[in-house]
């Protein structure tokens, strides 16, 4: 059997092509079933994110995995098959484990060290389990990936600090405002604005209003997050007396907040107002800082912090890769221990060594001249005891079954002391 990875990723496939090979959960479940019925693949996991489509396979050595996956993608449409044929790459052996562990650790992400990918790998593995396509090999492979991902994040600073605009805005807000007792206004309902709303909600924001030119879009986003209220852009200035935080991210070509349109509504206000403008062009006119109580940050202010955080993460990459290599080594040792012929030889030799040792130990109790007979008896007894386990391992021809591999794994752990540290 062989470990195989066929994939396409953001490294060499742009988004306009990746989106043509994006599949719904039920389609991926169908693909797993098709792989199960193919006869050539014993185990499979399909990992799909916005940046990658990856097929992890444990397949027969004579299985043409590229051809098999090509047919599978063709069943989803000619466009998908074409992109896959031109852009997909294949990896085999321990490089598959290394790649998976790096993915789980966030080392292969556009945003180095990001946390979401580990949950996505776990979800892909769960989907495989539900389709009965992860057994002995992938149980061990993916649990090592989970542990590698966790170890990298706990033993390095690979995920320190925000390296996205939305998260950086919320981290800044959290440093300046007590979010649990604050009222916030998010202006905009696009991708960045939605990320800000999500992060603010996770941070425990007490009160949130979402404003957008399309009020229905604002209300729809508010419903998704439950505790928010949606309003239109003309209603923004009416919120200025009460809010403690404003984060703005619209596609407007002119500022939506200026000194002139805000002065009457902010007259008499003294409590601090933090405004974070992450739009380009800017949503908030710099004249807003004429109010003594207003503190204004723009995207350049955040980019400086993001750059520092990104440099810090990148400095942690060598340390993270060293941790990944440790996990690759442990998995590789276990994987190689499943080779049937060496296991039979080691098991037989271990049994005979034990028989001879015990025969020598008790030879004196059986009188002179009986040592060789005692050793022959002990060796014969061991051989008879090992006949059953060895027969199970040797049973059949060709590729080993999952049951045989499980027997080898159990024998290794019970009798040959293999991979004790990897449990």
In the numeric block, the tokens 């776990």 are attached to 122
In DSSP terms, 5 is beta-bridged to 56, 91
Q: What token pair was written down for 402?
A: 């999952």
Distance CA 131, CA 412 (A): 28
Between CA 293 and CA 301, with CA 299 as vertex, the angle to 5 degrees is 65
CA 143 to chain centre: 12
Task: For residue 20, give both structure tokens.
Answer: 């043509």
Would you tell me the crossing angle of helices 317-336 and 136-155 to the nearest 10 degrees?
Answer: 160
- CA dihedral (242, 244, 245, 251) in degrees, to 10, reads 20
In eight-state DSSP terms, residue 423 is: -
What is d(CA 103, CA 231) in angstroms, rounded to the nearest whole number? 40
Active-site residues, by number, are 50
Calpha distance 118→106 (Å, rounded): 8
| 3-state percent helix, strand, coil for the chain, nearest multiple of 5 | 60, 15, 25
Q: What is the 3-state secondary structure (H, E, C) of 67-129?
A: HHHHHHHHCCCHHHHHHHHHHCEEEECHHHHHHHHHHHCCCCCCCCCCCHHHHHHHHHHHHHH
Q: Are 57 and 43 in contact (CB under 8 A)?
A: yes
List beta partners, residue 209: 185, 229
Q: Parallel, antiparallel, or unpaired for β 41-49 and 52-59?
A: antiparallel
Burial profile 126-148: b = 16 or more Cβ within 10 angstroms, e = fewer: ebbeebebbbbbbebbbebbeeb
- Contact between 234 and 262 under an 8 Å Cβ cutoff? The reply is no
Report the C-alpha gap between 131 and 36 in whole angstroms: 9
Q: Which residues pair with 82 in a beta bridge?
A: none
């Amino acid at each position: 059997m062989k470990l195989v990875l066929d994939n396409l990723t953001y490294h060499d496939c742009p988004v306009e092509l990746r989106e043509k090979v994006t599949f719904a959960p039920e389609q991926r479940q169908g693909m797993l079933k098709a792989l199960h019925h193919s006869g050539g693949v014993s185990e499979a996991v399909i990992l799909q994110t916005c940046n990658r489509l990856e097929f992890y396979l444990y397949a027969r050595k004579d299985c043409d995995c590229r051809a098999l996956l090509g047919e599978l993608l063709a069943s989803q449409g000619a466009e998908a098959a074409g992109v896959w044929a031109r852009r997909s790459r294949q990896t085999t052996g321990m490089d598959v484990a290394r790649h998976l562990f790096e993915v789980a650790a966030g080392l292969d992400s556009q945003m180095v060290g990001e946390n979401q990918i580990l949950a996505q790998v776990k979800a892909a593995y769960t989907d495989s389990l539900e389709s009965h396509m992860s057994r002995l090999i992938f149980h061990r492979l993916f649990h090592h990936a989970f542990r590698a991902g966790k170890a990298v994040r706990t033993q390095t600073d690979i995920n320190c600090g925000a390296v996205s605009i939305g998260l950086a805005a919320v981290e800044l807000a959290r440093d300046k405002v007590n979010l649990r007792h604050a009222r916030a206004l998010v202006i905009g309902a696009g991708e960045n604005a939605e990320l800000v709303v999500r992060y603010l909600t996770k941070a425990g924001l007490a009160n949130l209003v979402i404003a957008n030119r399309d009020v229905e879009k604002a209300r729809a986003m508010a419903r998704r997050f439950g505790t928010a209220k949606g309003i239109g852009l003309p209603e923004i200035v009416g919120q200025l007396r009460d809010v403690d935080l404003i984060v703005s991210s619209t596609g407007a070509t002119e500022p939506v907040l200026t000194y002139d349109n805000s002065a009457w509504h902010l007259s008499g206000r003294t409590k601090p107002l933090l405004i974070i403008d992450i739009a380009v062009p800017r949503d908030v006119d710099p004249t807003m800082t004429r109010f003594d109580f207003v503190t204004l940050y723009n995207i350049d202010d955040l980019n400086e912090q993001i750059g520092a955080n990104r440099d810090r993460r990148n400095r942690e990459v060598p340390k993270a890769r060293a941790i990944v290599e440790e996990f690759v080594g442990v998995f590789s040792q276990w994987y190689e221990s499943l080779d049937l012929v060496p296991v039979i030889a080691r098991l037989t030799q271990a049994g005979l060594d034990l028989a001879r040792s015990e025969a020598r130990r008790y030879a004196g109790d059986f009188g002179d001249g009986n040592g060789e007979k005692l050793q022959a008896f002990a060796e014969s007894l061991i051989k008879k005891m090992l006949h059953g386990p060895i027969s199970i391992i040797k049973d059949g021809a060709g590729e080993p079954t999952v049951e045989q591999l499980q027997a080898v794994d159990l024998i290794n752990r019970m009798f040959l002391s293999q991979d004790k540290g990897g449990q």
